[in-house]
Amino acid sequence: MTGRRLRFVGAVILVLGLASAMWIYLAAAPATGDALGYNPEESKQYLRTMELYGGKANVLAAELRQWFEGLWHGTRLAYTVACATVLLAGVFWFAAASEK
C-alpha cells in the first residue's frame, strides 16, 4: 500500500471509530445500583475469605478480572473503543510515515 492510501485508511478508521464510540456513549444506559443495594463481592468478609483460600494473588486476580469485565459495558466500552480506534489509526499513520 502507498503512504497516501495508508493515511486514508487511518483517517477512515479514526472517523468511524470515534463516531461509533460517541454513539455507544450516548446509547449507554445509566448505571443502576445493585438489587441488594451493595455488591457482596466488595464486602470485607468476602475479600477475607478469598484471601484465606487463595492468598493476595487470588484477591488481585479477582480485582483484575472485574476491572477487565467492566471495560466491555456502558460508557467504559465507549472509552475502550475510542482508545483502540486512536491506537489503530496511529499504527496506519505511522506505517504511512515510514513508507517515505
For residues 76 and 41, what is the distance between their CA atoms, to the nearest angstrom? 20
Tally of domains within the chain: 1
pLDDT at residue 29, rounded to an integer = 77
- Tell me the pLDDT band of 100, cut-offs 50, 70 and 90: low
pLDDT at residue 19, rounded to an integer = 97
The CA-atom distances, in angstroms, between 13 and each of 6, 8, 48, 90 are 10, 9, 46, 10
Per-residue pLDDT tens digits for 34-88: 667 777 777 889 889 999 999 999 999 999 998 898 888 889 999 999 999 999 9
pLDDT at residue 13, rounded to an integer = 97
Q: What is the pTM of this model?
A: 0.76
For residues 100 and 98, what is the distance between their CA atoms, to the nearest angstrom? 5
Give the domain range for residue 69.
Answer: 3-27+42-99
For residues 55 and 10, what is the distance between their CA atoms, to the nearest angstrom? 45
